[in-house]
């Protein structure tokens, strides 16, 4: 899909992706690399970062894999300093590191609630703040990875809903504060993405079909479909897009009741067949 983008869209730009060692974030890193970008990725697990770096180098990118927990300000700062030194200042930053588990609100401990806020909200803030001087220099942009839970409630996800709503608010605030300095801030809300850790956790109890039924397009996304839109948001194609929360979710956030919609369709079909 990103093969449809111009191969020089991000030529020689530096893109930093937090949580870029796996899943949707790695797909974004790969999509950026495939249009000419050099890539820095951070995460907690060195082996995961190294194997992701190999995939990115195979696409022609120069790569900095930096072990850094986004909750640790000093580690995040060090990762950005190393990135600038080895690849040049960042033109795009993806704040994608996040944590999730499925649990009823009344059973989530203080630390369990806090750990998700710390990774998602504080971690995203750290990543954006550490990038600030470099982004001012390059007139670049920040892309936050949010989720449908921030606007559409879902059982056993209050900690994630609160965290991603915080990420949405952070994005909008930075669009306002940093827009005048030439730095754009946006976010993307993926729907269910096939083969990801996030969906593995959310489908354990439900299976896949229920999710297919909730999405008007009737299927999961491929990670590359989300990654292509993310690449566009990070690129000059989106030079006037600031403060936008783009859904890339097959229509999931439109809402509706799966059972009502199905029953209505079936009843209408039965009535019109007679
Ligand atoms: P994933 O593969 O688990 O991606 C999360 C990444 O973040 C991992 O590489 C993980 O690596 C890293 N990470 C976690 N905690 C970290 C920390 N404290 N510091 C630094 N890195 C950390 O999951 P995914 O499903 O692809 O999700 C990626 C993003 O998309 C998340 O923001 C998620 O909320 C969002 N999203 C996903 C879906 C979906 O369908 N999967 C839908 C909507 C939104 P380490 O564990 O090695 O640190
Ligand atoms: N249900 C309820 N509470 C849970 C839980 C679950 N399934 N999993 C973890 N917690 C609680 C722990 O019990 C702990 O609270 P406590 O100290 O009161 O017992 C707290 O969360 C922190 O757990 P810990 O394992 O120390 O955190 P961590 O920083 O090592 O890991 C997580 C963070 C829990 C979010 C972990 O799932 C993770 O690393 N996730 C990253 C990958 C991911 O979530 N991918 C999907 C993308 S959104």
Which residue among 22, 95, 98, 99 is best mutated to probe the pocket of ligand 2, counting the most ligand atoms within 8 A of its Cβ? 99
Q: Tell me the average pLDDT of the chain.
A: 96
Question: Which token pair is 218?
Answer: 């009737």
CA 136-140-141 angle, to 5 degrees, is 115
Q: For the chain, what are the domain ranges?
A: 2-273
Average pLDDT in the 247-266 region? 90
Question: What pLDDT is stored for residue 274 in this prediction?
Answer: 67
pLDDT tens string 76-111 = 999 999 999 999 999 999 999 999 999 999 999 999
pTM of the model: 0.97
The mean-pLDDT minimum among 1-10, 49-58, 244-253 falls in 1-10
Residue 46 Cβ < 6 Å to ligand 1: no
**The predicted structure's pLDDT at residue 138:** 98
**102 CA from centroid of ligand 1 (Å):** 15
Given pLDDT bands bounded at 50, 70 and 90, which one contains residue 41? Answer: very high
Class of domain 2-273: alpha beta
Task: Give the mutation target among 56, 65, 69, 97 for probing the ligand 1 site: most ligand atoms within 8 A of CB.
Answer: 97
What is d(CA 156, CA 213) in angstroms, rounded to the nearest whole number?
19
pLDDT band at 256 (very low <50, low <70, confident <90, very high): confident
Q: What is the mean pLDDT of residues 121-127?
A: 99
Q: Tell me, what's the pLDDT at 257?
A: 79
3-state secondary structure the chain: CHHHCCCCCCCCCEEEEECCCCHHHHHHHHHHHCCCCEEEEEECCHHHHHHHHHHHHCCCCCEEEEECCCCCHHHHHHHHHHHHHHHCCEEEEEECCCCCCCCCHHHCCHHHHHHHHHHHHHHHHHHHHHHHHHHHHHCCEEEEECCHHHCCCCCCCHHHHHHHHHHHHHHHHHHHHHHHHCCEEEEEEECCECCCHHHHHHHCCCCCHHHHHHCCCCCCECHHHHHHHHHHHHCHHHCCCCCCEEEECCCHHHCCCHHHHHHHHHHHHHHHHC
- Position 273 scores a pLDDT of 86
Q: State the pLDDT at residue 262.
A: 85
Could you tell me if residue 207 is left (phi over 0), alpha (psi between -120 and 50 degrees) or otherwise beta? left
Percent of the chain at pLDDT exceeding 70: 99
Q: Which residues are 145's β-sheet partners?
A: 188
Q: Give the Å distances, CA to CA, from 39 to 42, 52, 108, 187, 261.
A: 10, 11, 36, 19, 43
Q: Which of 123-132, 147-156, 186-195, 263-272 has the lowest mean pLDDT?
A: 263-272
């Amino acid at each position: 899909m990103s093969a449809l983008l111009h191969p020089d869209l991000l030529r020689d730009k530096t893109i930093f992706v937090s949580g870029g060692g796996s899943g949707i974030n790695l797909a974004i890193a790969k999509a950026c690399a495939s249009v000419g970008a050099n890539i820095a990725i951070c995460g907690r697990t060195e082996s995961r970062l190294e194997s992701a770096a190999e995939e990115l180098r195979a696409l022609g990118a120069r790569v900095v894999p930096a072990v850094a927990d986004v909750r640790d300000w000093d580690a995040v700062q060090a990762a950005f300093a190393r990135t600038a030194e080895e690849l040049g200042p960042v033109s795009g930053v993806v704040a994608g590191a996040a944590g999730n588990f499925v649990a009823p609100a009344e059973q989530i401990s203080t630390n369990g609630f806090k750990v998700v806020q710390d990774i998602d909200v504080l971690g995203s803030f750290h990543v954006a703040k550490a990038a600030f001087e470099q982004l001012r220099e390059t007139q670049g942009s920040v892309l936050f990875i949010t989720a449908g839970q921030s606007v559409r409630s879902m059982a056993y996800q209050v900690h994630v809903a609160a965290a991603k709503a915080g990420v949405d608010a952070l994005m909008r605030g930075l669009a306002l504060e940093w827009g005048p300095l030439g730095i754009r801030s946006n976010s993307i809300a993926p729907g269910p993405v096939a083969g990801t850790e996030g969906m593995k956790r959310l489908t354990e109890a439900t299976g896949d079909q229920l999710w297919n039924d909730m999405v008007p397009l009737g299927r999961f996304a491929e990670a590359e479909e989300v990654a292509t839109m993310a690449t566009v948001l990070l690129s000059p194609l989106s030079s006037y897009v600031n403060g936008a929360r783009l859904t890339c979710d097959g229509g999931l956030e439109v809402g509706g009741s799966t059972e009502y919609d199905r029953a209505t369709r079936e009843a209408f079909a039965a009535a019109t067949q007679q």
